[in-house]
Amino acid sequence: MLTHSTCIGPARDLEVQRRCPSDTVVYDLFHVEAKFGREVIDRVRVDQANQLREDRPVRRVIKRSRWLLLRNRDNLSDEHAIKLDELLTAGAPLGTAYLLKTQLRGLWYAPDENEATRRWKKYCRTAIESASNR
């Protein structure tokens, strides 16, 4: 059995499955984070901004926060880290989305399978609880 690392996409998955049915498709962290950023963080950010139409200054801050939310905290300057903390404190859904992004990254760096399973279960609980709070 071989493992195929690929970009995320149903067409690629189907092609690997068709040509190599006993092989496994594995996604790399970069593409998973990018997809999460586009499909989850951006959606939450836009929804938050739309709810704040009446409060233009706060709405502007949220609308302009895309790259701040997509970057990893380790890569932020002290000034940007403070801005991120303020943003995450002000908008609970954004804070939850960022937490899920952080937990998702932690899955890749689990030291063993048992820890990865524990982290995955925690990730799923957080996602389910955040969906039920919406």
Mean pLDDT of 21-29: 80
Q: 6-21, pLDDT tens digit by residue? A: 566 677 778 878 888 8
- Structure tokens given for 57: 């200054």
Cα gap 86→76, rounded to integer Å: 14
Residue 111: DSSP 8-state: S
Q: Residue ranges per domain, the chain?
A: 3-132
- Nearest in space to 72 (alpha carbons), one of 64, 84, 62: 84
User: In the chain, what's the furthest Cα-to-Cα distance?
Assistant: 57
Q: 77-102, pLDDT tens digit by residue? A: 999 999 998 888 876 888 899 999 99
Cα gap 74→87, rounded to integer Å: 17
- Structure tokens given for 78: 């002290």
With 0.85 as the threshold, say if the pTM is over it: no
Residue 40: DSSP 8-state: I
Q: 99-118, pLDDT tens digit by residue? A: 999 999 999 899 999 999 99
Residue 26, classed as helix, strand or coil, is strand
Write the CB contacts of 10 (distance below 8 Å, at least 6 apart in sequence): none
